[in-house]
Structure 1
Amino acid sequence: MDKTFIKGLVLLEAMARNDKGSGVSELAAQLLLNKSNVHRLLQALVHQGFARKNTDTNRYELTMKLWELGSRTANKLDVRLESLPFMKQLAEETRETVHLSILDGAEVLYVEKIDSPQPVRAYTTVGGRAPAQCVATGKAMLAWADEDVLGAVKNRLKPHTEKSIVRFGDLRKQLEDIRTKGFAVNTGEWREQVVGAAAPIRDASGKVVAALGISGPADRLPKELLEKNGERMIEVTEMISRRLGYSRM
């Protein structure tokens, strides 16, 4: 365990509890650390933009960066809470597994799911991950992702099945089509016999923050049904987005 990192986190917590700013000597006494150690930790926080020194009081204060990070996490939790009723409805309608995913680097992270009641179904776990370019929810988010995210994906293209996208040009073309249609499909690119459809969820600023999709066995979800479910995903994700404050201009 990195003791310096732990000390930095404890220091952040102590500063967050002090509305009037914190002095080096005060923090050292409170945390049972020597002054030079506290000073080095504070300089690291200042360098990374988490803290600043108030020249009038000669005390250190936290910046809004920590609040910004916390707000992003809170927004993700809001997405889950607002999506869950719609997920239950979709599960009843389709009798297939319903997933809520967020994008974490070049991967999707499953933050909520409702399993299909049928004995043969798509298997995933909350907290599980998958390559974003291989699953419908991932592609639904990549279609509106920044270039740095796409660059990370480009470096990780490899075959997981015979249908996996392995050329970046092919991925770009598919993402263009997704932006036009409004939804994405997976035709067995992560697991050979598992397919799915998904659409993006937007926050109040219009940014894509998550994606909602369904998945199931390929023999139960032919292309025509996938397309139909994709259209349904758009309807549902637009309702969720509106609940998050998004308004299409």
Structure 2
Amino acid sequence: MDDQRLPRSIGKALMVLTALREGGTPMRLTELSVRTGIAKSTTHRMLCALTSAGLVARVGTHYQPARSASPKPRTHRDVLRLVAPFLGDLLVRTGMTAGLAVLDGAEVEFAHRVYGHRHVWGPCDDTGRSPAQLSAAGRLLVAHDETAARNLIRLAGLGPSEAAELGGDLIRIRQRGFAELTGPDGSTCLAVPLRLPKPPVVALVLEDAGNEADRARALLWLRRVADAAMREVCLAA
């Protein structure tokens, strides 16, 4: 980049940062482009540079000014308390059982749940836990954490073929951004990550998606509510 272009780029970056600070809430790329009058592709480059410099933070599809202090919710338990009320939103929107899940060794723990009328009860409803490899939430969280994946294979005692099958599924989960498992009764469990600024440690889950239309709608609301929940977490920091 030559000396003539550098000041202009800095000026545009400052315009984007100022718009974020004055907006008061996280904003999407398109909204920032319209607000600043800067082309969308250029706005995206400025956001990438500001994010790399630690001045802007990305939360799902939104951007906001980075905070200089460490976030207040320091543990996943703090995050769970902030996000738990959003489970009610999911239940109202989909009618399905909604939950928050975290990894604990080779198991996944369902820390909070709200139940829908169509819920199919199982052993994990009594214990609040399930083998991680047998749950959508567990596979989702392991897919984003290589250390957890290795520990799971070791702790669960998976053989070479089982480990290879699990590894292939984890790759697909990372590519799609969600996990899905279908039970023997035909019910479906869907999970998406809460995108914290590190490997996700909390999964947002919906259970009992009965058909393809319900599944598509459930996944849509899972992603929308996950974005809204993470904005809440960042605003509380």
TM-score by length of 2: 0.59
| CA separation of 1:206 and 1:238: change in aligned 2, threshold 3 A | farther
Match of 1:243 in 2: 232
Once the two structures are superposed, residues 16-61 of structure 1 have per-residue CA deviations (whole angstroms, 9 ceiling, x without a partner) of xxxxxxxxxxxxxxxxxxxxxxxxxxxxxxxxxxxxxxxxxxxxxx
- Find out whether 1:151 has 2:150 as its counterpart: yes
Q: CA deviation at 1:86?
A: 1.4
| CA separation of 1:126 and 1:242: change in aligned 2, threshold 3 A | farther
| CA separation of 1:221 and 1:206: change in aligned 2, threshold 3 A | same
| CA separation of 1:113 and 1:233: change in aligned 2, threshold 3 A | same
TM-score by length of 1: 0.56
Residue identity over aligned pairs, in percent, reads 24
Distance 1:232 1:195 in 2: 15
Number of equivalences: 161
Distance 1:154 1:231 in 2: 31
**What SS does the aligned partner of 2:145 have?**
coil
In structure 2, stretches of 5+ residues that fail to align are 1-71
Distance 2:126 2:108 in 1: 11
**What SS does the aligned partner of 1:81 have?**
helix
Match of 1:115 in 2: 115
Distance 1:127 1:201 in 2: 23
Radius of gyration: which is bigger?
Answer: 1
Alignment of 1:90-239 (within 5 A): 90-118=90-118, 120-123=119-122, 124-125=124-125, 128-147=128-147, 149-155=148-154, 156=156, 167-188=162-183, 193-203=186-196, 205-216=197-208, 221-223=210-212, 225-239=214-228
The code of the aligned residue for 1:202 comes to R
Q: CA deviation at 1:80?
A: 1.9
CA contact (8 A) 2:180 2:188 kept: yes
Match of 1:37 in 2: none
Distance 1:115 1:184 in 2: 20
The code of the aligned residue for 2:227 comes to E
Distance 1:127 1:101 in 2: 13
The code of the aligned residue for 2:204 comes to L
**What SS does the aligned partner of 1:116 have?**
coil
| CA separation of 1:131 and 1:227: change in aligned 2, threshold 3 A | farther
Q: CA deviation at 1:231?
A: 3.5
Alpha-carbon RMSD:
2.8
In structure 1, stretches of 5+ residues that fail to align are 1-70, 159-165
Q: CA deviation at 1:128?
A: 1.6
The code of the aligned residue for 1:169 comes to A
